Amino acid sequence: MKVLIIGSAGGIGKKLSEDLSKDSSSIFLGYHSNPVDSVYKSKKIDATKFEEVEDFIQSGIEILGGVDAIVNLPGNLILKPAHLSTEEDFYNTININLKSAFGVVRAAGKLLDNCSIVLMSTAAASIGLSNHELISSAKSGIEGLAKSAAKTYARKNIRVNTVSPGLVRTPLSKKITENPIMLKASIKMLAANKIGEPKQISNMIRFLIDSENDWITGQNFIVDGGLSSTK
- What tens digit of pLDDT does each residue of 28-37 get? 999 998 777 7
Distance CA 72, CA 95 (A): 13
Q: Is the pLDDT of residue 231 over 90?
A: no
Task: Determine the pLDDT at residue 39.
Answer: 81
pLDDT at residue 76 greater than cutoff 80: yes
The per-residue pLDDT for 45 is 97
- Could you tell me which of 170, 206, 171 has the C-alpha nearest to residue 16? 206
35 compared with 155, residue with greater pLDDT: 155
Task: Give yes or no for a contact between 124 and 135, defined as CB atoms under 8 angstroms apart.
Answer: yes
* Section 138-156 average pLDDT: 98
Taking residues 35-50, what's their average pLDDT? 90
The total of other beta-carbon atoms located within 10 Å of residue 194's CB is: 10
Element (H, E) at 160: strand 158-165
Q: For residue 99, what is the DSSP state? A: I
Q: Are strands 69-72 and 220-223 parallel, antiparallel or unpaired?
A: unpaired
Query: In this predicted structure, what is the pLDDT of residue 190?
Result: 93
> Looking at the DSSP assignment, which residues form a beta bridge with residue 164?
222
Q: Count Cβ atoms within 10 A of the Cβ of residue 22 and give its class: 0-12 exposed, 13-18 middle, 19 or more buried.
A: exposed
- Residue 70's pLDDT band (boundaries 50, 70, 90)? very high
pTM comes to: 0.95
